[in-house]
Structure 1
Amino acid sequence: MKIIQVTDLHLVTPGDILCERDPLQNLRACIADINANHADAELVIFTGDLSDTGHEDSYRALASELEKLVPPYRLLLGNHDNRGAFLRVFNRVVPEDGFVQSVVDTAEGRLILLDTLSEGFVEGRLDEARQAWLKQRLDEAAGRPVFLFLHHPPFPIFLPLLDGLGLVEAEALHGLLREHGNVRHIFVGHAHRPVAGSWRGIPVSVIRGTNHQTALDFSPDRIMTTLEPPVYAVVFIDRDTVIAHFHDFLDRTAAYR
């Protein structure tokens, strides 16, 4: 199974610039590259911060571009998003208990897509209602592998200020995942960094966004923005492996035989 992960689009009003770049142009390039090289993907999952402003015009622009995407897709929300504005534009999305979250059952296991948006706050939340929803979805998947997608990392990446802006209820999440016992990977965004490792035995990965990035800076008192290349992930999953390739889709370096 091939899954594509895209994250942190940070769309603004079409024509506007963010961090010296046009987020909409970068999204167009990302979609074109996916269509050209990965039209066979089973699913494209966008893991939040679809918008930078939370305004409806940014979601309308996103909807227009997604009409061109060949594989099917699912959308998650991040801290920059506005749930109400999103649902007004993407009115075919059916909220689960009021949240933009869902499951996708595949031949390789269950994909669980979590809504960790807490509007007005940078950090993510998994309140009691969302914990209950997740527990039910995990219980339904008893005996099957689970792959979790969400915006906010529940684990530290050792960039001090970013670690304070992750998922608040990380311990509660871990308890639910431990109880299920067969969570094979956690995919997140939010940090705008390429990061891979494990959290209490569960493999994890983070990727860059499609516009601007976060500097690899371990200082305890600053977060710096960079113009490192945007990326999407090409993820291969089977019964034995989970492999994620981080693809710089704007790289025009010549390839030689």
Structure 2
Amino acid sequence: MKKFFDFCFEVEFYIKIAISCTIVQQILYWLLHSIKLNFITQVLLYWLVGSVSFYSVGLFIEKILKQNDTLRDKLTSRVKQVKKQPFPPFTAKGIILGEIKSFIAAFIILYLAPEVVRGNGLLLNIGWFLMRIIAADFCFYISHWLFHRKFLQKIHLQHHEFADSSSFVAGHKSLTEYIIVTVTDLLPIFIFGYDITQLLAWTIIGNAYNLEGHSSLSIFFVPSDFHDLHHSCFKGNYGIQGFWDRVFKTLNPPTKTTGLMFPVASLEKMTMKSSSH
């Protein structure tokens, strides 16, 4: 029974990502489908959407949710406590360099990847995004596992300066790691091509779950302390979520978050509780 719930627990995350991406894609399609976007306009849009969503979601988590004691305590997923650390402050130089890096990445990605138009079919988009998150999780697992081998560890150490975690630690990585992670995440669009509305939706939702995953909170996408344990222990939990870690037996078992946003964990808790009586 537990293995069944573990499987459903991981599938729940994938389904959330696919449905959320599809909803955002539908909105973007409605806004953009009648507008002819040339290459430069698409690059600017991709870059702006990525940057605005990254900073707005991160600031919402850090400056609104975490500043409210009641919400922070209610949403905290971290079980294993670590020593609090000061996080690097934002600087004008850091932001400018980050945006230059993001713009160059957007330009190269859209230049190299073939453009396709997939329309706004619900089933097609849900299927596409489901494939994307499963494939992205696998690619991230492999690259992240390699980052923890001795011959590549130096590339990844900047990201692991923090055992404690904060949303913006998601973007705290070396240039080499940034390039490798970006390529592995977007590998499917180099193979299958990109639809601009799908790409923008993926960027928004990707930023949301990545920032949440580094925030030590379980808000909507992140159903456990899975990534907190990775930062605390420096081993295990190499995927975005635990599916591939279960497959390859590198899982550091997380503590699941229950509640309305995480129905599988809640159902498992109720089932196990009733069966124990």
**Greater relative contact order (Cα < 8 A, sep 6+):** 2
Going by fraction, where is strand more abundant, 1 or 2? 1
Task: Give the TM-score, by structure 1 length.
Answer: 0.26
Task: Give the TM-score, by structure 2 length.
Answer: 0.25
Going by fraction, where is helix more abundant, 1 or 2? 2
